[in-house]
A = this chain, B = another copy of it.
Amino acid sequence: MSEATTIPYGKITTPEQLGRLVRHQRKAQGATQAEFAALCGVGVRFISELENGKPTLELGKVLQVLHCLGLELSLGPRGWPTSPSPSGTHPC
């Protein structure tokens, strides 16, 4: 697996990390920020700020956008392995 195909899932400890993943997923789905904003029912500004890791965004809107991306957050103890395998195989 090359650097170019970064795993689009993973741990979220900062708004920046979340933003990077959101942008990656959006682009993977071939949508512009404007299209995506309309789809999610938020403003373009929000999408831009989210993707750029702005820490003061509303939690509920963030979750709303994740839902639109077909993504889901899961909460667990720090360090526990959760990243789905990019090849689709199971962790074990």
Chain A residues with CB under 8 Å of chain B are: 9-15, 18, 21, 55-63, 66-67, 70-80, 82-84, 90-92
Flag if B73 contacts A9 (CB, 8 Å): no
- A interface SS class: mixed
Chain B residues whose CB sits within 8 angstroms of the CB of A91 once the complex forms: 91-92
A61, A74, A77, A91 — which one has the most chain B CB atoms within 10 A of its CB?
Answer: A74
Q: Are A76 and B72 in contact (CB under 8 A)?
A: yes
- Taking a contact as CB atoms under 8 Å apart, the answer to whether A78 and B84 are in contact is no
Q: What are 21 A-B pairs with beta-carbon distances under 8 A?
A: A9-B76, A9-B77, A11-B72, A11-B75, A12-B72, A13-B72, A18-B75, A55-B59, A55-B60, A55-B61, A58-B58, A67-B78, A70-B77, A71-B76, A71-B77, A72-B79, A74-B82, A76-B83, A76-B84, A77-B84, A91-B92
